Structure 1
Amino acid sequence: MECRISDKQMSIMDKLGILTDAAKYDVACTSSGTDRNGDGTGMGNAIKAGICHSFSGDGRCISLLKILFTNECIYDCKYCINRCSNDVPRASFTPEEVCRLTIEFYRRNYIEGLFLSSGILYSPDYTMELLYRTLFKLRREYNFQGYIHVKAIPGANPELVRLTGFLADRMSVNLELPTAEGLKKLAPNKHRKNILAPMRLIQNGITESKNEVAVYRHAPSFVPAGQSTQMIIGATGESDFQLMMVAQNLYDKFSLKRVFYSAFVQVNEDKDLPALPGGPPLLREHRLYQADWLLRFYGFHAEELLDENRPNFNVLLDPKEDWALRHLECFPVEVNRADYQTLLRVPGIGVKSAQRIVKARRSANLRFGDLKKIGVVLKRALYFITCQGRMMYNTRIEEDYITRNLLSVKEKLPAEAGGMSYRQLSLFDDVRFAARQQGISQLG
Structure 2
Amino acid sequence: MSDRIREKLSILADAAKYDVSCSSSGSNRKNTTKGLGDASASGICHTYTEDGRCVSLLKILLTNHCIYDCAFCVSRKSNDVKRAAFTVEEVVELTMNFYRRNYIEGLFLSSGIFKNADYTMERLVRIVKKLRLENNFNGYIHLKTIPGASPELLTEAGLYADRMSINLEMPTEAGLKLLAPEKSHEEVKKPLGFIKDSIVALKDEKKIIKHTPKFVPAGQSTQMVIGATPETDMEIMYSADQYYKSFDLKRVYYSGYVPISFDTRMPAIGTQPPLLRENRLYQTDWLMRFYGFNVKEILNERNPHLDTDIDPKLSWALRNMQHFPVDVNTADYNMLLRIPGVGVGSAKKIWQARKFGRLRSDQLRKMGIAWNRAKHFIRCADSVFVLNEPDAIKVKGLILSETNSKYLTVPQQQLSLF
Matched, 1:319 2:303: no
Match in the other structure for 1:49: none
Letter in 1 for 2:41: G
- Separation (CA, whole Å) in 1 of partners of 2:331 and 2:208: 40
Give the counterpart letter for 2:248 in structure 1. Answer: S
Within the candidate set 179, 183, 190, 1:197 is matched to 190
CA distance in 2, matches of 1:302, 1:391: 35
Deviations, residues 168-191 of structure 1 (Å, cap 9, x unaligned) = 000001100011111111011211
Partner of 1:390: 383
Counterparts of residues 253-264 of structure 1 (less than 5 Å): 253-264=246-257
Structure holding more helix per residue:
2
* Residue 363 (structure 1) aligns with: 356
Residue type at the aligned position of 1:375: G
Q: Distance in 2 between matches of 1:55 and 1:196?
A: 36
Aligned to 1:29: 22
Q: 1:301: Cα distance to partner?
A: 1.2
1:151 aligns with 2:144: yes
Residue 30 of structure 1: CA displacement? Answer: 4.5
1:61 CA drift (Å): 8.3
Partner of 2:134: 141
Distance 1:392 1:203, change over 3 A: farther
Alignment of 1:371-410 (within 5 A): 371-388=364-381, 390=383, 397-410=390-403
1:96-115 matches, cutoff 5 A: 96-115=89-108
- Asked whether the 8 Å contact 2:379–2:386 carries over to 1, the reply is no
| Residue 45 of structure 2 corresponds to residue 57 of structure 1 | no
What secondary structure sits across from 2:160 in the alignment?
coil
**Comparing 395-404 and 141-150, the one that deviates more:** 395-404
Per-residue deviation, 1:287: 0.4
Name the CA distance, whole Å, in 2 between partners of 1:225 and 1:56. 27
Structure 2 counterpart of 1:434 = none
1:114–1:364 CA distance, 2 compared to 1 (3 A)? same
Q: What is aligned with 1:42?
A: none
Q: CA, structure 1 residues 395+301, in 2 after alignment: closer, same or farther (shift >3 Å)?
A: closer
The equivalent residue for 1:418 is none
Give the aligned residue type for 2:255.
S
User: In the alignment, which residue of structure 2 is the partner of 1:127?
Assistant: 120
Matched, 1:267 2:260: yes
CA contact (8 A) 1:149 1:171 kept: yes
Q: Contact (CA 8 Å) 2:168, 2:222: kept in 1 or not?
A: yes
- C-alpha change, 1:223 and 1:395, in structure 2 (3 Å) is same
1:257 counterpart letter in structure 2? K
Q: Is the 8 A contact 1:385 1:391 kept in 2?
A: no
Change over 3 Å in CA distance of 1:72–1:21 after alignment to 2? same
Q: CA deviation at 1:379?
A: 1.0
TM-score, structure 2 normalization: 0.87
Deviation track 1:306-365 (CA, whole Å, cap 9, x = no partner) reads 111221011000000000000000000000110000000000111111111111111111
Distance (whole Å) between structure 1 residues aligned to residue 236 and residue 43 of structure 2: 36
Q: Does 1:18 align with 2:11?
A: yes
Q: Normalising by structure 1, what TM-score?
A: 0.82
Aligned pair count reads 383
Alignment partner for residue 92 of structure 1, among 85, 92, 97? 85
Gap change, CA 1:278 and 1:139, over 3 Å in 2: closer
Does the Cα contact within 8 Å between 1:55 and 1:66 map onto a contact in 2?
no
Provide the rounded CA distance (Å) in 2 between the counterparts of 1:232 and 1:61: 20
1:167 and 1:278 mapped to 2: Cα distance? 39
1:220 aligns with 2:213: yes
Asked whether the 8 Å contact 2:22–2:108 carries over to 1, the reply is: yes
Indicate yes or no: 2:333 matched with 1:348. no
Q: Which runs of structure 1 show a deviation greater than 6 angstroms over 4 or more consecutive aligned residues?
A: 392-396
Q: Percent identity?
A: 53
Q: Which structure has the larger Rg?
A: 2
Pair 55,251 (structure 1): closer, same or farther in 2 beyond 3 Å: farther
RMSD after superposition: 2.3
Of structures 1 and 2, the one scoring higher in RCO (CA 8 A, sep 6+) is: 1
Question: Shift of the alpha carbon at 1:408?
Answer: 2.1
Matched AA of 2:118: D
SS at match of 1:408: helix
Q: Which residue of 1 aligns with 2:201?
A: 208
For the 8 Å contact 1:55–1:64, the answer to whether it is kept is no
Letter in 1 for 2:165: S
Quick one: distance in 1 between partners of 2:41 and 2:66? 23
Number of the residue aligned with 1:244: 237
**How big is the shift at 1:376?**
1.4
Report the alpha carbon displacement of residue 388 of structure 1 after superposing the two structures with TM. Answer: 2.8
Answer yes or no: is 1:162 the counterpart of 2:146.
no
Q: Deviations over 1:260-314 (max 9, x none)?
A: 0000111011011111137321111110011000010000111100111221011
| Deviating more after overlay: 370-379 vs 193-202 | 370-379
SS at match of 1:166: helix
Deviations along 1:63-113, whole A, 9 cap, x unmatched? 111000100000000111110011111111111111111111011000001
- Distance verdict in 2 for CA 1:57–1:399, change over 3 Å: same
Matched AA of 2:303: R
* Unaligned segments of structure 1, at least 5 residues: 1-8, 32-53, 412-444
Distance 1:388 1:238, change over 3 A: same
User: Structure 1's 22 and 129: CA in aligned 2 closer, same or farther, altered over 3 A?
Assistant: same
In 1, Cα distance between the equivalents of 2:312 and 2:166?
Answer: 27
In structure 1, what is the equivalent of residue 332 of structure 2?
A: 339
